[in-house]
Structure 1
């Protein structure tokens, strides 16, 4: 078994023991590991070896015999391993980050966030927490929809396991306005964008290296199964580069430079709230600007341009300009129709 899988399993063991007040038997730990990590099989001997390895590494894991058998639990000396020293300003920063991650509510990621946050609250001195609570009231985080992926937890576990093991995943995928299709994907990672989770994966049937990597919205997954088939990861794929090339989630290797005319007010708004780290604004004689920005699909530009109204005009490429013109024409027809 690969070493990273062993480390992930042992880390999960520590979490399970932390949450267990009365200890867990090896069989109970094995069952929890299988469920939480989405494993197809795991032998009790492997769990025993993991516990022994953690004990050898210095974790105070104690055993006791009770009515249901031999149980394992964390001893008092383990607390020092996780002890956290944190200031009020660090707590403020941490709590802001926690609120921004509300879309992960109901997933295994959120349980880790909440576990750590509760641990911090319990360990900081009262004075530090009071100072944090007083200043935290002055800052509010909002704008993140109350959307969660609680019902996708099982699929997330399956996909995470497939990412680590380089396994092909068979998914039932339902794009908006289209029937459900069965697809085979090669998952490389996950991305959170505007409160939605996306699976960055290659379409198994597409051979072109420039077209096969796509971002699949988790909301559209109806079912996911990790197959006993494996793929060889493409070492040339850089997820940070892939996700950072365009304005939104339609990122890819085929980003196009879009030129947009902005009026004075629109240019000021875009300077305040940039669309992309690589955007460039060149001032014009009328006080506005010509903006150039990379985009992979007209639908990335469309809502942003429409939000600026008549104060923005896509100049090129022609395909992007036509997409905006078509949307404006249809909107005008709606408003010109007699109600």
Structure 2
């Protein structure tokens, strides 16, 4: 218990050193504790002689007296090792920071005590992080650095963008709020006409940085927005459901042949039938896509509903059988 509190007190000091001021609410959210716990910790720091001050009011919060720096900078073994797993070299290179990141790692390694330095480098030598998915090649992203510069400087941009809908090529003026790397692909989260939209950076045909700045807003949370965007995307994409009968073999193979949302839904809705097969309800994006997803299960899957999907799968199987029967005759 004492170790946990000591670690929390150090965390409060480091947070206040890195920011001008923080409210008790902000500190509690960062530390995963209650605001009452933060109040007690701040009192303990103040009693120990740390010049920490609380200011009331809308713009208030806790802050350290100007110029105060803690000497509690030592790293534990686990912390030193984890530092070499916190970044992706390929990501730094994409953003034009590859050399800077490499030099920073060298400086960090040189600053660590010998024992920690050796252990940290050992982690770097034994673990490699690759953000790109299997069987994928990275798309060309010639405008990524320009997008990153606009995000960092909070400058409005005008971009020419290639989208799936018609008209395919459009021009948009947007306020770039953040960049996200997902499955090896970069995405720009930007505000346009008071609504946020997501643009795949590799589909930006041209980009011009404008002189106009924009107010990013202190309340915008990139990670929270992205989570909500993914949830909404899945809800829109999975617009329907299908009822299937699956053999025990199909249930075992499902995690290797279907996406996680389908696997979770299948297991959550599974009902055993008298013949040993399992009846499940799964989300489907479209009937065309559902046919392509169900066919790899072969004879271990049967579509019960909707009737239109059952007919399309039957037609696909019949066509395949006809091709093979024709080949046998020749």
Largest Rg, 1 or 2: 2
Q: Normalising by structure 1, report the TM-score.
A: 0.49
Q: Normalising by structure 2, report the TM-score.
A: 0.50
